[in-house]
Amino acid sequence: MTRKSLHFTQMLQPGGWADNVRIGLADGLIASVESGVSAAAADERHGAALPGLPNLHSHAFQRGMAGLAEVRGPSDDSFWTWRETMYRFVERLTPDDLQVIAALAYVEMLESGFTRVGEFHYLHHDRDGRAFADPAEMSGAIVAAAGESGIALTHLPVFYAHSGFGGLAPGEGQRRFIHDVSGFAAMLERLRPLLAGLPDAVLGVAPHSLRAVTPDELAAVAGLVDGPVHIHIAEQVKEVADCLAWSGARPVEWLLAHAPVDRRWCLVHATHLVDAEVRGLAASGAVAGLCPITEANLGDGLFPSAAFLAAGGVFGVGSDSNVLIDATEELRLLEYGQRLAGRARNVMAPAGGSTGGALWRGAVAGGARALGAVEGLAVGAPADFVTLDLAHPSLVGRSGDALLDGLVFAAGRGGIDGVWRRGRRLVEKGRHVERERIAARYRRVLAGLLG
């Protein structure tokens, strides 16, 4: 067992900020935490430390098409035209391509302050739509990319069977995503030993959306694991209209009435809600998985954050399409969307509280719940943390939550000095230790895919 001790002038712990904190690590896990103590001679010494942020929703392969869907088509562009671009990109990817693209995405996540990713993974089959000899071949590429980058992985294989509400047959562009329940269960069994070899990995499932699964399939798939259950929901107004036409209920209304939604569940986007759905979602204990950069990029709409927080709701953030990977920018845009829509300031903060503090703490707690991980820097948790550059002009002279306000609203990712995963420093001065190799390989593969 490898042991070491680190000392920090300040640390954000689950109970709040503490000064002069000493943590003992055993094999990358936090074995002891003391505060109000001075450093011992052999301790590594750092300034301020924060728990790393969980990224609760990613489609890693979409990093490869970032910026490729920003040209206006002949008619009005929408989520649905973006999806056509995505389907064309997805047709070409091999398992090796997927690993190369995902590894770069995970390097960039770590550099920006994310230490765990929830990979909502739906690209399962070969280019012609046939299953690989090993049904978990594409998931294996995700597991390998997580291992190379060092990021913690909550793997969320997606169950996808239909192209619309009421069990419509899937379309040709969806052929690489499709399973029946028994084929999906067989893939999960292949995955369990793969994930057992990856430190701190968690297995969940992701019924893709109410348009892609029937009620019977939803119940069967959610019962296949003990881990998290994630679903895309109410992202688009067309989806709300189609759900009403199918069932007479709105998507979140239908889900809360027909599925055992609780703390295991993460409802990704949940953008379009009426008041009763806001209250019902908050009361369920499920996490609202918000993806502000992607939701802005796709023109989805704005989640009703103020009403959801007032009802006691729990949220986390995700980088989703990975068009831009930046933890602080997700939090900043989450708050700024609310400010612009409500013509108000400091919407996500409690009365008298720091907005940066409320955003970081909220996303750490909600992200951990959504990804089946231990929350924050506590005994027994992996030592996954971010250290700040206290000499940064937007952080200098500050402590406690004022550091988080400076980080989220002023410094951005430039205020991050180091990022640590399981006690290993993977990011130094804002750069991942494997960036050069992983980025060079990415450039070669993308040139081929786009050429």
Tell me which residues are annotated as active site: 269, 320
Among 163-171, 188-196, 313-321, 342-350, the segment contacting Zn ion (CB under 5 A): 313-321
Judged by CB under 5 A, the number of residues near Zn ion is 1
User: Is the Cβ of residue 253 or residue 320 nearer to Zn ion in the bound state?
Assistant: 320
One character per residue 182-201, x = contact with Zn ion (rule: CB under 5 A): --------------------
- Structure tokens, 74: 């002949």
Among 46-54, 240-248, 315-323, 367-375, the segment contacting Zn ion (CB under 5 A): 315-323
User: Is the Cβ of residue 222 or residue 298 nearer to Zn ion in the bound state?
Assistant: 298
> For residue 248, what is the DSSP state?
S
Q: How far is the CB of 266 from Zn ion (least distance, A)?
A: 11
Residue 119 near Zn ion by CB under 5 A: no
What's the sign of the alpha-carbon dihedral 157, 161, 162, 167?
Answer: negative
The helix/strand/coil state of 59 is coil
- Structure tokens, 310: 């007032």
Q: How far is the CB of 437 from Zn ion (least distance, A)?
A: 28
On whether the CB atoms of residues 165 and 242 are closer than 8 A, the answer is: yes
**What residues from 2 to 21 belong to the interface with Zn ion (CB under 5 A)?**
none
Q: How far is the CB of 208 from Zn ion (least distance, A)?
A: 9
The helix/strand/coil state of 361 is helix
Rounded to whole angstroms, the Cα distance separating 203 from 93 reads 24
On whether the CB atoms of residues 407 and 356 are closer than 8 A, the answer is: yes
On whether the CB atoms of residues 292 and 312 are closer than 8 A, the answer is: no
Q: How far is the CB of 31 from Zn ion (least distance, A)?
A: 36
Q: How far is the CB of 230 from Zn ion (least distance, A)?
A: 9
Q: How far is the CB of 336 from Zn ion (least distance, A)?
A: 21
User: Is the Cβ of residue 8 or residue 160 nearer to Zn ion in the bound state?
Assistant: 160
Q: Which residue is nearest to Zn ion (CB)?
A: 320
Rounded to whole angstroms, the Cα distance separating 286 from 133 reads 36
In angstroms, what CA-CA distances link 197 with 147, 187, 191?
9, 17, 10
User: Is the Cβ of residue 17 or residue 120 nearer to Zn ion in the bound state?
Assistant: 120
User: Is the Cβ of residue 120 or residue 420 nearer to Zn ion in the bound state?
Assistant: 120
- Widest CA span of the chain, in angstroms? 68
Rounded to whole angstroms, the Cα distance separating 354 from 357 reads 5
**What residues from 316 to 355 belong to the interface with Zn ion (CB under 5 A)?**
320
Least Cα distance to 313 among 238, 363, 381 occurs for 363
On whether the CB atoms of residues 53 and 364 are closer than 8 A, the answer is: yes
User: Is the Cβ of residue 206 or residue 386 nearer to Zn ion in the bound state?
Assistant: 206
Give the residues lining the site for Zn ion (CB under 5 A): 320
